[in-house]
Amino acid sequence: MEETNLLLALRGKTVVITGASSGVGLATAEAFSKYGCKLVLAARGEEGLAIAEQRCRALGALVLTVPTDVSDYVAVQQLLSHALAFGGKIDYWINNAGVMASGRFEEIPIEVSHQVVKTNLLGYLNCAHAVLPIFRQQKFGVLVNNVSIGGFMPAPYSAVYSATKFGIKGMMECLQGEVSDEQHIHICNLYPQIQRSTGNMHSAKYSGLDFKVPPFAADPKDTAQQLLKLTVQPKKDKFPDFSSWAIKVVHDLFPKIVVNTASAGMRLMMKLKDAAPNGGNVLRPSNYPHRIYGETIIPVPSKTTKQALGFGMLLGVALVMLAGKKK
């Protein structure tokens, strides 16, 4: 949509964003700030929320921060109450808060795995359960879920994280059916690939893993724009870019090859690296840095290079599919 149309559509809207203190969540908060929205920013850490509030106010938004652990349903209900008192209504709710633990399944402490489920799966469940009755009372509202490509394919050596993403996808698809008789209530799912955000820096790592984001990961600001656009142009399911869709297609064609190859790569990294276990932000709020972008293995390539690689991937997928039809 054109900027003028977005401004008309979004001005004065009340938007709740979870996981808003860094990464995609912070990028999303900043994206909405440019259109005169009333923002309710939620995350566990007060320090990160304070930085997010300052950045969004500088862009012209009215901001309320509510420290919230989405795995706690009482805390989510309090977030909802604060949001209603602040904005008088809730137009859009962005489910984004999430944590990740990587490593051999049996080497990740069970309390860490349990919390991944509580934050990711139960967090999205809690938020949906709290806000959908408000949407029904209002007769309008959009719930947007940042699900991840992990809703379609497993992340290597991240079994519990993968389970939560598959679970979110299934739960939200069912809820889409439940609100299908409500003309102005929508549930939208976005399936982005790995992000060049602080998410990896903050994640828990075990089994000697110590890795940085690959340079061809998606720009969190681009993903944030797609989350924003889903609020004004609701769509049940969306891939934010070509790469996310292509990864999903390749996995659909060669699931065992993709999973086994990715797992082999992770095993190699575990042999080459011998980092100390790091619990990350699973059991506690994210530490510094509270920013959008994380560290990459090598400098990020230009958009032209990314486009060339994207076309190369598309051509490769097309050739594979063509070869399969000839057999």
What pLDDT, in 10s, does the model give residues 9-51? 999 999 999 999 999 999 999 999 999 999 999 999 999 999 9
- What is this structure's pTM? 0.90
**C-alpha dihedral, 141 to 146 to 294 to 222, nearest 10°:** -70
* pLDDT class of 312 with cuts at 50, 70, 90: low
**206 assigned to active site:** no
Six-digit token string for 269: 């990294």
| List of residues 6+ apart from 38 with CB closer than 8 A | 12, 13, 14, 15, 61, 62, 63, 64, 86, 87
First to last CA, the chain: 44
CA–CA–CA angle 271, 150, 194 (5° rounding): 65
Q: Measured between alpha carbons, how far is 150 from 248 in angstroms, rounded to an integer?
A: 9
Q: Are 308 and 217 in contact, with CB atoms under 8 Å apart? A: no
Strands (E), the chain: 14-18, 38-43, 62-67, 92-95, 101-102, 141-146, 185-190, 204-205, 237-238
Q: What is the pLDDT of residue 126?
A: 98
Q: Which residue among the candidates 157, 161, 191, 293 is catalytic per the annotation?
A: 161
Task: Please determine, for residue 108, whether its predicted confidence score (pLDDT) is greater than 70.
Answer: yes
Among 15, 1, 18, smallest CA distance to 68 is for: 18
Average pLDDT over all residues of the chain: 91
Task: Assess whether pLDDT exceeds 50 at residue 308.
Answer: no
The alpha-carbon radius of gyration of the chain (Å, integer) is 20
Backbone angles phi, psi at 281, to 5 degrees: -105, 20
DSSP classification of residue 182: -
Q: For residue 296, what pLDDT band results from cuts at 50, 70 and 90? A: confident
Closest Cα to residue 100, out of 19, 171, 159, 46? 159
C-alpha span between 112 and 86 (Å, rounded): 34
Residue 321 has pLDDT above 50, yes or no: no
> What span, in angstroms and rounded, lies between the C-alpha atoms of 60 and 141?
23
Tell me what the mean pLDDT of segment 117-129 comes to: 98
What is the average pLDDT across 70-94? 98
- In the chain, pLDDT over 90 holds for what percent of residues? 78
- pLDDT band (50, 70, 90) for residue 303: low
Q: Report which of 48, 11, 17 is spatially closest to residue 30, judged by C-alpha positions.
A: 17
Digit-coded pLDDT (tens) for 197-249: 998 889 999 998 877 787 779 999 999 999 999 999 999 999 999 999 999 99
pLDDT at 236: 97
How far apart are alpha carbons 314 and 301 in whole angstroms?
Answer: 19
CB 145, CB 168: distance < 8 Å:
yes
Query: Residue 147 pLDDT > 90, yes or no?
Result: yes
pLDDT (0 to 100) of residue 195: 93
Mean pLDDT value across residues 96-107: 96
Please work out, in degrees rounded to the nearest 5, the angle formed at the alpha carbon of residue 227 by the alpha carbons of 211 and 51: 65
pLDDT for 320: 46
> 317 pLDDT band (50/70/90 cuts)?
very low
